[in-house]
């Protein structure tokens, strides 16, 4: 059975956008409509979307913050080079 996976990648070369480094992957949970109650199915899906979306955004923002932090540290170290 197949499933969906979200990849968070860094594009290493703007001239070649197909060259990427995978930073994180998040497997999306499977959905079995047969296990859902018709009256609450949309609410269940919305709850799942919010939880998964927050997890993906957490990974995405952490990757961006690490890159910014690395650049700031390098700039600071250049100011005080030996």
* Residue 7 near residue 22, CB atoms below 8 Å: yes
User: If pLDDT is split at 50, 70 and 90, which confidence band does 24 have?
Assistant: very high
What count of other Cβ atoms lies within 10 Å of the Cβ of residue 23?
16
Judged against a pLDDT cut of 90, whether residue 5 lies above it is answered with yes
Q: What are phi and psi of 17, to 5 degrees?
A: -65, -10
**Which residues are bridge partners to 26 per DSSP?**
6
Angle ∠(21,23,28) on CA atoms, nearest 5: 120
Q: Where does residue 75 fall: left (phi above 0), alpha (psi -120 to 50 degrees), or beta otherwise?
A: alpha
Judged against a pLDDT cut of 80, whether residue 1 lies above it is answered with no
Judged against a pLDDT cut of 80, whether residue 35 lies above it is answered with yes
Judged against a pLDDT cut of 90, whether residue 31 lies above it is answered with no
């Amino acid at each position: 059975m197949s499933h969906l996976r979200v990849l968070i990648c860094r594009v290493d070369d703007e001239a070649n956008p197909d060259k990427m480094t995978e930073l994180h992957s998040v497997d999306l949970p499977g959905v079995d409509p047969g296990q859902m109650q018709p009256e609450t199915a949309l609410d269940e899906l919305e709850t799942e979307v919010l939880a998964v979306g927050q997890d993906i955004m957490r990974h995405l923002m952490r990757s961006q913050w690490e890159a910014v932090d690395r650049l700031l540290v390098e700039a600071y170290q250049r100011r005080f080079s030996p």
